[in-house]
Amino acid sequence: MNEDLQPGQLLARGVCRHLRSHDFVSVEELVPVPGLRVDVMALGPKGEIWVVECKSSRADFQSDNKWHGYLDWCDRFFWAVGADFPTELLPADTGLIIADPYDAEIIRTGPETKLAPARRKVMVQKFARHAALRLQALRDPRVTPSGIP
């Protein structure tokens, strides 16, 4: 399936693989609220919610004017970039992951800002629905995200 993935999606794949080693499961391109779409949302063993934005280049990072909005929807926020990315551009008080298409490494976790219980409940449920819909669409291609066409 690799041929079709964009540079940012290849980073996301490496990130999701690595997060498994921390017992986090992940989905890509989840919409926490209309107008926002996170590259990776990960769910930890205790219900932790992490968001990882994957930036394949300086330009990709500099054109992102929405990332502050993601902070409200996670306990921790990370950037994931390639080894050649100028990491001094990234805000110091955010998490940092160095990734390639095959694996990744967490360099710093950044601060934790715990979600309120009600919002965590909503996010875990959104995560569950997103993952189940994508899974069903792959296993049973006749089903569209909105149901049977």
Binding-site ranges for a copy of itself (CB under 8 A): 1, 13, 16-17, 20-21, 25-27, 43, 47, 103, 121, 124-125, 127-129, 131-136, 138-140, 142-143, 146-148
The least CB distance from residue 28 to a copy of itself, in Å, is 8
CA angle 28, 86, 56 (to 5 degrees): 30
The least CB distance from residue 136 to a copy of itself, in Å, is 6
For residues 8 and 55, give the distance between their C-alpha atoms in angstroms, rounded to a whole number.
Answer: 6
User: Minimal CA–CA distance to 44: which of 132, 137, 123?
Assistant: 123
Look up residue 70 and give its two tokens: 């993601």
**Size of the chain in residues:** 149
Residue 88 or 140 having the CB closest to a copy of itself: 140
Q: C-alpha dihedral over 60, 63, 68, 70, to 10 degrees?
A: -50
Residue 10 or 90 having the CB closest to a copy of itself: 10
Residue 113 or 125 having the CB closest to a copy of itself: 125
Residue 16 or 99 having the CB closest to a copy of itself: 16
Q: Are 132 and 25 in contact (CB under 8 A)?
A: no
The least CB distance from residue 56 to a copy of itself, in Å, is 18
